Chain A
């Protein structure tokens, strides 16, 4: 298969990931071990799962700002129901996933049926979910569930000492399912079509409204799943967790090669975008002398470079055509 213009961003992302990883391994030989690699997946599992949902929103030309608050709210509700009320852990997880999906659908309904900008609707959703979690509890609630302890401890052994744990498996599964939905289902292709040109999608007879509601439902689902993962990672729920997470997720999506204007991108790229952020963070903690906020600066620079790259590609295409 020959190289196509739409593959350039994801190839660039892959290249950046490999270069960063190689550079880090050069400075710290321990970086190039299975454990560090697996840790990338563990430490960023919740971000990755959230970013899968975000990718759909961005692909359609929209955005979902509520995901960070949804993660916090999920943690609070989960911990409260399990630890304080003693509900069955699995039933609670099913319940919060349903709740999160419904929450996303309601936002999607407003976006699709009243033609409101996703930015505003999900901003409102963000405040709502954050407020709700703070009403439920201002204190951090520990998660006490023997069943979930065992689930979190489960892992696929990769070597004598390194396991690929449950939350990392969820991340990989989320990316796989997301990729399948995006590439192989009518719904997924309609998302791309809406992002490419909503007007045309409408004129082509595609179910634009239904798809838009589905997009935010899906984003709500993955945000809640990310919240479940985050709760399993920290074993507590706290109303102030996940602040700014929506921005990290958007950054992952864009660094992963998805056009902010919508219509172009690949889901696996988002995973790479997440891992790139992970590599930078791990490198800085390895170094020990650097301030951890350097991560943000480097991510900022990368974002800038990627947006320039995208503009350049679309300009080059327009030029070639004329």
Chain B
């Protein structure tokens, strides 16, 4: 069998980490080949080797039977391997046409760029992808989906044989995904080999012919997708005897905590004009309260009010029965609250700092600048959380940006736990991390609640909310429209509540 791209015995090590060992990967012409694995399994490392970013490495890469040693993405691209990264490598401020032809512009006399030809050719290559847009318009005036197609079109201009798509669907809506898939099918029919990386199992099943699964930097196997059952796939990815699905089943429906005379935190008539309509809420010790609702339903805005990021226009917040002032997150932290924001990369972690430094950050801030934690104390605290939350890192001195998404999330949680925490607010803590890490975070949340912590859990995934929470507040149109608890907190009920709309009249308009 002739392979289009053959990677044999690939291995690479980084200081202290064996990132990839003896991995084989074979891509045929006219096939869509999924590369699957959890975060940290070595997918992106393999992609970076194939696309010429990492060198040197062990093993050989054969393209059309010939060994290739591309030493840069450009060389790999010229050889016929093009990669479309999740963060699209295009220039947002230039026109679509120009983005396609940057660096390979056709020239006229006097080394002058032939703009007419560029515009004509740009329309031609985009029409191959069923895209009819004004190519003279600036790239960032188009949606991410269109920009993605532009990136693919640029790859085609380099007469790519191998197209690597790294998480191409993560920020697309349903229709855009199906459009992308039809483009991929078209390219497959033209004989390209496509490497497709995704976290979405459904999408993998929909489009891929074969799948190669990696785990912990090693090859688990190559499978024909048609013959691969979901449970086998998940087992291959997770690798425990207990597959993810069974791990999920282990969560028993938790009983509603007996309501206490004074809740830990009580929110009354909290309002912010233009952001959240008045709402009441109470948080109990040892209870996980969920926020369910679609994007833009007001969930995150409400959480920001509780944490003092945005000020209250009306209403009050009581802790242990006493009204507290919440004019900034600082007040909230002093009252014992912690917040893991949705966008952890930009708001939560400080990537260049070590795991230890990230963990002690809030604690040190609480103590003030003149009451410095000693290095030994810091290391002690970091070690304790690395082991108790099982954060996967070689040691506490590793920079946080080198950790996988799930482990970064744990570092943020550890940071809050290190200070005197009573209420933990988690905004989409499991977004963008893989199945097994999700399960682990969910387990962690339940364990923390068992230890007496009150948790506010915000998630777009309803089954995740119902699995972890005893009580669920349902949001729609920037308004709390209902609260479900115990056995009522089921996915069907939540969806019905959202669909039905306002349950209790808020009275006032915002």
User: A197 to B112, Cβ gap below 8 A?
Assistant: no
User: A264 to B93, Cβ gap below 8 A?
Assistant: yes
**What's the minimum C-beta distance from A62 to chain B, rounded to whole angstroms?**
15
B110-140 interface bits toward A, Cβ cutoff 8 Å, 1 = contact, 0 = none: 0111010000000000000000000011101
Task: Tell me if B148 is interfacial: C-beta within 8 Å of chain A.
Answer: no
User: A4 to B138, Cβ gap below 8 A?
Assistant: yes
Which of chain B's residues has its CB closest to A2's CB? Answer: B134
Given the complex of chains A and B, what is the CA–CA distance between A259 and B89 in angstroms?
21
Task: Tell me if B105 is interfacial: C-beta within 8 Å of chain A.
Answer: yes
Task: Tell me if A204 is interfacial: C-beta within 8 Å of chain B.
Answer: yes
Output the residue of A200, A201, A321 with the most chain B CB within 10 A: A200
Task: Tell me if A155 is interfacial: C-beta within 8 Å of chain B.
Answer: no
Chain A residues with CB under 8 Å of B105's CB are 186, 189
**What's the minimum C-beta distance from B235 to chain A, rounded to whole angstroms?**
36
Given the complex of chains A and B, what is the CA–CA distance between A203 and B85 in angstroms?
10
**What's the minimum C-beta distance from B91 to chain A, rounded to whole angstroms?**
4
Chain A residues with CB under 8 Å of B74's CB are 205
Given the complex of chains A and B, what is the CA–CA distance between A196 and B98 in angstroms?
12
Known: A185-B112, A186-B111, A206-B102. A4 touches B137 (CB 8 A): yes
User: B140 to A201, Cβ gap below 8 A?
Assistant: no
Given the complex of chains A and B, what is the CA–CA distance between A317 and B136 in angstroms?
16
A180-219 interface bits toward B, Cβ cutoff 8 Å, 1 = contact, 0 = none: 1001111001101101110111011110000000000000
Task: Tell me if B505 is interfacial: C-beta within 8 Å of chain A.
Answer: no
User: B113 to A263, Cβ gap below 8 A?
Assistant: no
**What's the minimum C-beta distance from B119 to chain A, rounded to whole angstroms?**
12
| Other-chain contact of B111, A185, A190, A259, A320 (Cβ < 8 Å) | A185
Which of chain A's residues has its CB closest to B51's CB? Answer: A203
Known: A4-B137, A199-B89, A321-B141. A193 touches B113 (CB 8 A): no
Given the complex of chains A and B, what is the CA–CA distance between A257 and B85 in angstroms?
32
Chain A residues with CB under 8 Å of B115's CB are 184
User: B89 to A200, Cβ gap below 8 A?
Assistant: yes
Given the complex of chains A and B, what is the CA–CA distance between A86 and B401 in angstroms?
63
Known: A196-B94, A263-B94. A205 touches B73 (CB 8 A): yes
| Other-chain contact of B91, A5, A185, A197 (Cβ < 8 Å) | A197
**What's the minimum C-beta distance from B113 to chain A, rounded to whole angstroms?**
5
Which of chain B's residues has its CB closest to A205's CB? Answer: B74
Given the complex of chains A and B, what is the CA–CA distance between A320 and B138 in angstroms?
13
Given the complex of chains A and B, what is the CA–CA distance between A321 and B91 in angstroms?
16
Given the complex of chains A and B, what is the CA–CA distance between A46 and B158 in angstroms?
44
**What's the minimum C-beta distance from A222 to chain B, rounded to whole angstroms?**
20
Instruction: Compute the total of residue contacts between A and B using a CB distance below 8 Å.
Output: 78
Known: A186-B103, A321-B143. A192 touches B93 (CB 8 A): yes
User: B140 to A321, Cβ gap below 8 A?
Assistant: yes
Given the complex of chains A and B, what is the CA–CA distance between A192 and B94 in angstroms?
8
Task: Tell me if B425 is interfacial: C-beta within 8 Å of chain A.
Answer: no
Chain B residues with CB under 8 Å of A206's CB are 102-103
**What's the minimum C-beta distance from B208 to chain A, rounded to whole angstroms?**
26
Q: Which of B72-109 contact A (CB under 8 A)?
A: 72-74, 77, 85, 88-94, 98, 102-103, 105, 107
Task: Tell me if A6 is interfacial: C-beta within 8 Å of chain B.
Answer: yes
Given the complex of chains A and B, what is the CA–CA distance between A5 and B102 in angstroms?
21
Given the complex of chains A and B, what is the CA–CA distance between A186 and B143 in angstroms?
27
Report the count of interface residues on B (CB-CB < 8 A): 28
Using C-beta atoms within 8 Å of the partner chain, give the interface range for chain A: 20 to 34
Given the complex of chains A and B, what is the CA–CA distance between A55 and B103 in angstroms?
21
Q: Which of A19-60 contact B (CB under 8 A)?
A: none
**What's the minimum C-beta distance from A104 to chain B, rounded to whole angstroms?**
21
**What's the minimum C-beta distance from A289 to chain B, rounded to whole angstroms?**
45
Chain B residues with CB under 8 Å of A5's CB are 138, 141
User: B98 to A203, Cβ gap below 8 A?
Assistant: no
**What's the minimum C-beta distance from A310 to chain B, rounded to whole angstroms?**
12
User: B91 to A263, Cβ gap below 8 A?
Assistant: yes
| Other-chain contact of B112, A184, A204, A320 (Cβ < 8 Å) | A184
| Other-chain contact of B141, A195, A200, A204, A317 (Cβ < 8 Å) | A317
User: A196 to B92, Cβ gap below 8 A?
Assistant: yes
Output the residue of B73, B91, B141 with the most chain A CB within 10 A: B91
User: B91 to A200, Cβ gap below 8 A?
Assistant: yes
User: B93 to A185, Cβ gap below 8 A?
Assistant: no
Given the complex of chains A and B, what is the CA–CA distance between A259 and B92 in angstroms?
14
Which of chain B's residues has its CB closest to A318's CB? Answer: B140
Given the complex of chains A and B, what is the CA–CA distance between A317 and B92 in angstroms?
12
A139-158 interface bits toward B, Cβ cutoff 8 Å, 1 = contact, 0 = none: 00000000000000000000
Chain B residues with CB under 8 Å of A190's CB are 102-103
Which of chain B's residues has its CB closest to A197's CB? Answer: B91
Chain B residues with CB under 8 Å of A4's CB are 136-138
Known: A185-B113, A204-B102, A205-B77. A6 touches B92 (CB 8 A): no
**What's the minimum C-beta distance from A9 to chain B, rounded to whole angstroms?**
12
User: A204 to B103, Cβ gap below 8 A?
Assistant: yes
User: B113 to A189, Cβ gap below 8 A?
Assistant: yes
Given the complex of chains A and B, what is the CA–CA distance between A204 and B113 in angstroms?
18
User: A193 to B85, Cβ gap below 8 A?
Assistant: no
A259-279 interface bits toward B, Cβ cutoff 8 Å, 1 = contact, 0 = none: 100011000000000000000
Binding site for B on A (CB under 8 A): 4-6, 180, 183-186, 189-190, 192-193, 195-197, 199-201, 203-206, 259, 263-264, 317, 320-321
Binding site for A on B (CB under 8 A): 72-74, 77, 85, 88-94, 98, 102-103, 105, 107, 111-113, 115, 136-138, 140-141, 143, 154
- The 9 A-B residue pairs whose C-beta atoms are closest, nearest first, are A205-B74, A196-B91, A203-B89, A263-B93, A196-B93, A200-B89, A184-B112, A193-B91, A206-B103
Q: List 12 A-B contacts (CB under 8 A).
A: A186-B105, A186-B107, A186-B113, A189-B94, A196-B91, A196-B92, A201-B102, A204-B89, A204-B103, A204-B154, A205-B103, A317-B141
Given contact pairs A193-B94, A321-B141, a sample of 14 additional A-B residue pairs in the complex whose CB atoms are under 8 Å apart:
A180-B112, A185-B112, A192-B94, A193-B102, A195-B93, A196-B94, A199-B89, A200-B88, A200-B89, A203-B85, A205-B74, A259-B93, A263-B91, A321-B140
